[in-house]
Structure 1
Amino acid sequence: MIAVSDLPGAHRVRLTWRLFAPRRWPAWAAVAFLRASLYLPLGARVGIANVLGGLYYRGNAKRRRIAATNIRLCFPQWTAERQERAVREHFRLAALALFHMAVVWWGDERTLDRCLRVTGLEHYEAARAAGHNIVVLHCHCVGLEASLVLSRYFPYVGFAKPLKDPVLDFVMTRGRERFGGRVFAREAGMRPLIRAIKAGFGASYVPDEDLGPKESVYAPFFGVPAATLPTLGRLVRLTDAVVIPCFTRFLPDGGCELWLEPPLTNFPTNSAIGDATAMNTAIEQAVLKMPEQYLWTMKRFKTRDTGHSLYD
């Protein structure tokens, strides 16, 4: 296997003097707050997250409406009270995710082992022992950042969209690569990821977002037609890989669980819609284990075959 440092297409960040300009100080203050949170007891972090989550819920009406619309569409069997409770809980957990990012980016081995529980690694090890290339399927959820700890266990690469703020982009990228993994910029396209998979790296893939009609097919997500990227099937065909689903969820004690599942069977299928449907089904099954924790604040159903937005 080639060294991860030799992989072309990686997103490069450097610490330069321009990152310390006065207009960047608020970003550094936010970073310092997160870094300092590691020294708080877990219960205190949960308490602060409860307050921040409430402020986020009350202060961002746009995201609140998006989350409410998504949950209403995906869980129509819930009462209005249950749906509203899920929206509020989602915002609380989104705030808690900030403190878990600090654990992933800076926590020592003891802190990581105490706050993050990883199960199902045997599925990855068995697939690798059988000689398979591996794509790790994730979904957008509040605890997604915790998936980066997989690079503690095996060589791991993935995509990221560079942040507009250079300070936050620097800190986030360094945090994501601290265990030896590598981050590719989304703008680099699929070629670096394909090259890495063929070289034996586990590759993170998070395809469950609406990127418009050009590259998407319509596949059901909780029974709602959703513009879905069928790229996972093409990626598997190009790399002769298996797909191992891997998801994260916050636990009632404030910790986080990351679990890997057996490889998808009969995948890829014989059609793009079949691939997209199988992928959405795997994600649905994970969401049902943590229904408040999916990233309901993103416009998952933005592109409609009817042409009418659900978020107006």
Structure 2
Amino acid sequence: MLALYRLASKWPLGLLHALGALLGWLTWLASPTYRRRFAQNSARAGYRFAQVRAAVAHAGRMALETPRLWFGAPVPVQWDGPELIEAAYAAGHGIVYLTPHMGCFEITAQGAALRFGATHGPITVLYRPARQAALAQVLATARQREGLETAPTTLTGVRQMIRALRAGQAVGLLPDQVPPEGQGLWAPFFGQPAYTMTLAARLLQQTGATPLLAWGERLPRARGYCIHLQPFPEALSNDLDTAVAQINRAMEQLIAQNPGQYLWGYGRYKTPRKVAS
């Protein structure tokens, strides 16, 4: 599998995005379950299909651009709001990047590591270890890069992220990712109860880090990406339930800026999986 990823990484980004768009639509047409979940999730959020149909192709682009981002030559990256990062580092309490399943979330961590890692230390990103050995090898190799560290979704990984924040560094996670049972709570997401991680809120409450909303827009005609940064829209509550709901609202507001690049087919409202004892 690693050899296949390395082969695909040499293809032009435009070709990968074109094939990815085709893959996205073929998947949508071939899978009634995926179509139904896509339609239900976007309708819950108040969007008509015409407003989100671009997300069908973007899901496929995300899948096929990944080898290029992991193993290929650098891609063009623009920035919107990098001064927010400098201000957050100047505050001295670290940064928690909050990124939904929107656009190219791989490029946000890579871009931050490349631009700020040498000056301010690495960015530590949360990841779920792959169950398949072949894929685990790909992930382990892909994310070994300057300025980027990974933390598994375990107690050890959480401690690693806390240490990074207390050292004034940055961490990144996807707060709309459904955590395992016992690691989240039910909170509204577009008006529907969704099992939501508490980790993002706990990291912010325990360390006083600066929360920044971040997402990587996939630019048209394979011109690269634009990393958008925004301040958290309100003061985070000290109450955990309230803080989790606030983070969900912030993700909703971010998604509303470009619903055509959100992964509406993601199982956001699924029942959390049990952790093996």
TM-score range, shorter chain: 0.7 to 0.9
Q: Distance in 2 between matches of 1:134 and 1:43?
A: 33
Query: Structure 2 matches for 1:142-291, cutoff 5 A?
Result: 142-149=103-110, 150-152=112-114, 153-154=116-117, 155-187=122-154, 188-211=156-179, 214-254=182-222, 255-267=224-236, 269-291=237-259
Aligned residue pairs, count:
264
- Cα–Cα, structure 1 residues 252 and 90, in superposed 2: closer, same or farther, change >3 Å? same
Percent of aligned positions with the same letter in both sequences? 28
Q: Distance in 1 between matches of 2:99 and 2:132?
A: 25
What's the offset of the Cα at 1:291?
0.6
What's the offset of the Cα at 1:216?
3.2
Would the aligned equivalents of 2:81 and 2:228 in 1 still touch at CA under 8 Å? yes
CA RMSD of aligned residues (A): 2.4
The amino acid across from 2:69 in the alignment is: V
SS at match of 2:195: strand
2:275 aligned partner: none
Would the aligned equivalents of 2:6 and 2:72 in 1 still touch at CA under 8 Å? no
- Cα–Cα, structure 1 residues 270 and 43, in superposed 2: closer, same or farther, change >3 Å? closer
What's the offset of the Cα at 1:198?
1.0
Residue 94 (1) aligns with residue 59 (2): yes
Would the aligned equivalents of 2:42 and 2:264 in 1 still touch at CA under 8 Å? yes
What's the offset of the Cα at 1:194?
0.7
The amino acid across from 2:55 in the alignment is: H
What's the offset of the Cα at 1:224?
2.2
1:67 aligned partner: 38
Q: Which has the larger radius of gyration?
A: 1
After superposition, the C-alpha distances for 1:189-217 in whole angstroms (9 at most, x for unaligned) are 41111112112220112221333664433
What 5-or-longer segments of structure 1 have no aligned partner?
A: 1-26, 305-312
- Cα–Cα, structure 1 residues 180 and 46, in superposed 2: closer, same or farther, change >3 Å? same
Would the aligned equivalents of 2:5 and 2:71 in 1 still touch at CA under 8 Å? no
1:52 aligned partner: 23
The amino acid across from 1:262 in the alignment is: P
What 5-or-longer segments of structure 2 have no aligned partner?
A: 273-277
The amino acid across from 1:58 in the alignment is: L
TM-score (norm 2): 0.84
TM-score (norm 1): 0.76
Moved more, 46-55 or 194-203: 46-55
Would the aligned equivalents of 1:105 and 1:178 in 2 still touch at CA under 8 Å? no
Q: Distance in 1 between matches of 2:157 and 2:124?
A: 14
What's the offset of the Cα at 1:287?
0.6
Q: Distance in 1 between matches of 2:138 and 2:198?
A: 32
SS at match of 1:299: coil
What's the offset of the Cα at 1:106?
2.7
Segments ≥4 residues shifted beyond 6 Å: none
1:30 aligned partner: 4
Residue 136 (1) aligns with residue 93 (2): no
Would the aligned equivalents of 1:128 and 1:134 in 2 still touch at CA under 8 Å? yes
What's the offset of the Cα at 1:125?
0.7
- Cα–Cα, structure 1 residues 106 and 32, in superposed 2: closer, same or farther, change >3 Å? closer
